[in-house]
Structures are given as structure tokens and as C-alpha cells.
Amino acid sequence: MSGLLRRHRDFRLLWFGETTGKFGASVTSVSMPLIAVSTLDASTFQVGLLSAAAWLPWLLIGLPVGVWVDRIARRPIMLGAAVASCALFLAVPLVHFAGLLSVGLLLAITLATGVSAVFFQTAYTAYLPSLLGPADQAEGNSKLHGSASAAQIAGVGAGGLIAQLVGAVNGMFVNAGTFLTSFTCLLGIRHREPPHEPGGVAGAADAGADAGAGRSLVREIGEGLRLVAHDRWLRTFALFGGASNLGLVGLQSIQVVFLVRTVGVSPGVVGGLIAIGSLGGVAGAFVGRRVAARIGTARATIVFELGLPVLVLLVPLTGGGVRLALFVAGNFAMVAGVVAGNVIKAGFQQRYCPPRLLGRMTASMQFVNYGTIPLGAVLAGTLGSTIGVRPTVWVMAAAIPAAALILLFSPMARRRDLPTAREDDVDTRVAQRVV
């Protein structure tokens, strides 16, 4: 351990809990589709629905959750979400052993765990800046993203191995245990958040009146949406994220079906192929900050989000034998670019957005970013059932680098660096629209 992990006990606990949780989630990302395909004989469309169900809660409750996260302490929200996720994932093998597991029930459990993920991720994103000072946030984001990528690699490989040795259903025991570990780590954090200000983007001028009357949930949701819509940098990242995730998750939602039914590999090999390709996440987290420091954060974002993901077009060319390397190479480049871009973007947002608005800003950004994910999963499942799996992989792979054209035609293309503070008084302009 070095730097932040050595000297900051609370960050070390957060880091370990989050890394463990990512490992379990990656086991699930392989185990859930394999349960559907190999245990429940689900169709390609049903596998797409399974991926959609995990992300649908971002569309349904993401915006109000952002407001609630700004109103109360974030750590208790994360603790409650971790407990709920642990119980839900534990229910899958227990229901299976009772002979009651079905595709419908698997969809319902996936939807419920998606609700927990909305609460946890929104609170987690807003919590980190209160735990770390501005000088430590870049290192903290880099370590969290890098460790998460490494955990995802190990989790995907473990998911495939567990499925091959003892069955995919038993992978849920691993995930339940990781959320229990995450809960324990969060419980041990000594840092307590400062009291939350009642004011929103309208600022201190009308905070007193709003505090007495109680703020409208709809009004605060609107403030978060307007904050993103009227800020050119946040708007650009939100639109890009939504477009990118449409193809990214569409591709990921059918990759197990593609590898098992089209290419013809075993479940254990599926996990290994995805794990090796996911090594790109570790590489991306390692080089993200370094490349950004050398060429600028704006330029690096375009390189990572457009330049590297073009190689994902190798994935649809995957076949048996040595052609399996095409899947690995395409996935490696895509994941490296996405993770490096996410490291840069996370640091930008935490510096750029006022702390009192981080929950709403995060929820509004993720409403757009994650809101397209269920659409991408359903679209991939529908196309896979109609035009075939391999043609669908082509469509989804091509959509990933195409989304980055949004960045290329944005103000980012004319800048070396992303701004580190608000460049104009967006608070004032949004407040005028609220009043």
C-alpha cells in the first residue's frame, strides 16, 4: 500500500468495501445470465430483459433518490443498500434449492437489486468528496477505479469458474458475502459527514424561506435537471454517457449468449475471456491520470473515449480457435478507454460541482447515462431474436465509438483541459428559472 491507502484509514475501509462489492457484482454479471441460459433455458430476449431490469430503477427512481441523498447523510443510505443487496442475492440460491426459481422471479430479484444499487451508487458518489480533501480526490478516484477494474476481472473469472465447478446459482453466495463485507467496512468508518445545507441551486438567498416551508421534491429534481441541462460541460458528459451506454450495455447483455451459443465456448471459458479482456480496466485506471497530466484532461478524454474503443469492432469478428483473441483484444481496448475516461470524468465532476448539489447532479447525470441502459439491453435482446446474435453484436459494437462523436463536436475538442471550477454563474441563471 502507498500514499492515500496507507495514511487514510477511513478511505482504506471504503476502498476495500467498494472493491469487494465490485468483485461480487462481477460474479453476478456472469452468473445471472448463465443461470438464465443454462438453468432456466431463457431466450435471447429474456436475457436482454434481465440486463434491462438491473438498470430500469435509474429511470424510475434515480431523480428523487438524488434529492434524498442531498437531504440526509449518505453513509446510512449506503449501509441500508448493502444489507438489502446481500439479502436479495442470497435469496436466489435459496429459492432455487426450493425448486421455485423462474425467469420471472429472477427478473424481480434483479429489479430489486437495481433499486438498491441506485441508492448505494448515488450516495457513494456524493459521499467520497466529503471523505477526501480536493488534493486527494484525484488519487482516490484513480485507486477506486483501478481496484474496481481488477476486482471485476477477478469476479468475472471467478463467476465462470464457479459456474463450471459447482453451478452458476452458487455464485450468488459469493455476491451476498461481498455485500456483507461492504456493510462491515462502511460500519467501521469513523468519519461523520458535516450537516447538510437546506439550500439548493437557488443558494443562500432563498434558503431561509425554503427551510421554513419545506422544499418540494419536484422542485429539487427540476433544479438538478436544469443544472445539467444548462451547463455545457455537464450536458456534454450526460449526452455522451447515455449514447455510449446504449451500445456498451447492449453489447455486454448478449455477450454470454454470443460466446456460448454462436461461438461455442464453455461457461468456464466465457468467464476467462471476459476477465482477460477486462484487464484493460486496470491499464486504463493506471494510465488515465498520467496521460491527462501530459496532454490535458479534455484531450485525454477524447483519446480514451473515441480512439481506443474503435477497436471494439474486433469483437463481432470473434470465432473459434485463435479468433477468440479478437474478442479479448476488442474488449481490452474498449474497457481501457472507458475506465480511463471515467477516472478523468469523476475527478472533474467532484471538483466542478458544489458539494451541496452533488447528489442531485449525480442523479440527473445518471438518469441520462443509465436511463438508456435498459433500452440498450432490450434492443439487443430484440435484435438478437430477429436479425441474429452476430449482426446484433456488430450494431452494438459500432454504437460505442460512434457515441464519442458527441465529445468531438463539443467544446471539449477546442480545449486542452476540462475546467476545474464553474466558468459562469449557472446557479444564478437556474435560480431565476426556479423562482
- Fold (topology level) of 8-189+217-423: Growth Hormone; Chain: A; (1.20.1250)
Q: For position 400, what pLDDT does the model report?
A: 93
Asked if residues 354 and 301 have their Cβ atoms less than 8 Å apart, the reply is: no
355, with CB counted inside 10 A (0-12, 13-18, 19+), is: middle
pLDDT tens digit string along 381-407?
Answer: 889 889 999 999 999 999 999 999 999
> What cell was used for 125?
458518489
Q: How high does pLDDT run on average in the chain?
A: 81
pLDDT band at residue 156 using 50, 70 and 90 as cut-offs: low
Distance from C-alpha of 183 to C-alpha of 186, rounded to nearest angstrom: 5
Asked if residues 315 and 332 have their Cβ atoms less than 8 Å apart, the reply is: no
- Percent pLDDT > 90 in the chain is 26
User: For the ranges 28-37, 192-201, 297-306, which has the lowest average pLDDT?
Assistant: 192-201
pLDDT tens digit string along 92-118?
Answer: 999 999 889 898 999 999 999 989 988
pLDDT band at residue 203 using 50, 70 and 90 as cut-offs: very low
> What cell was used for 375?
433500452
User: For the ranges 151-155, 298-302, 412-416, which has the lowest average pLDDT?
Assistant: 151-155
Q: For position 149, what pLDDT does the model report?
A: 64
Q: For position 157, what pLDDT does the model report?
A: 64
Q: Which of 229, 194, 182 is nearest to 63 (CA)?
A: 229
- Alpha helices per DSSP H over 166-229: 171-187, 207-213, 217-229
Percent helix, strand, coil in the chain, to 5, is: 85, 0, 15
Q: For position 354, what pLDDT does the model report?
A: 73
Question: What is the enclosing helix (H) or strand (E) of 82?
Answer: helix 74-97
> What cell was used for 355?
458539494
> What cell was used for 24?
461480487
Q: Which of 314, 315, 369, 307 is nearest to 337 (CA)?
A: 307
pLDDT tens digit string along 308-366?
Answer: 889 999 999 998 888 999 999 999 999 889 888 988 888 788 778 776 777 778 778 87
> What cell was used for 273?
475471456
> What cell was used for 240?
455522451
Q: For position 201, what pLDDT does the model report?
A: 43
Q: Which of 48, 273, 35 is nearest to 172 (CA)?
A: 35
Domain range summary for the chain, segments of one domain joined by + = 8-189+217-423
Query: Residue 208 above 50 pLDDT?
Result: no
Q: For position 123, what pLDDT does the model report?
A: 85
Q: What is the DSSP letter of 128?
A: H
User: For the ranges 30-44, 234-248, 298-312, which has the lowest average pLDDT?
Assistant: 30-44
Query: Residue 46 above 70 pLDDT?
Result: yes
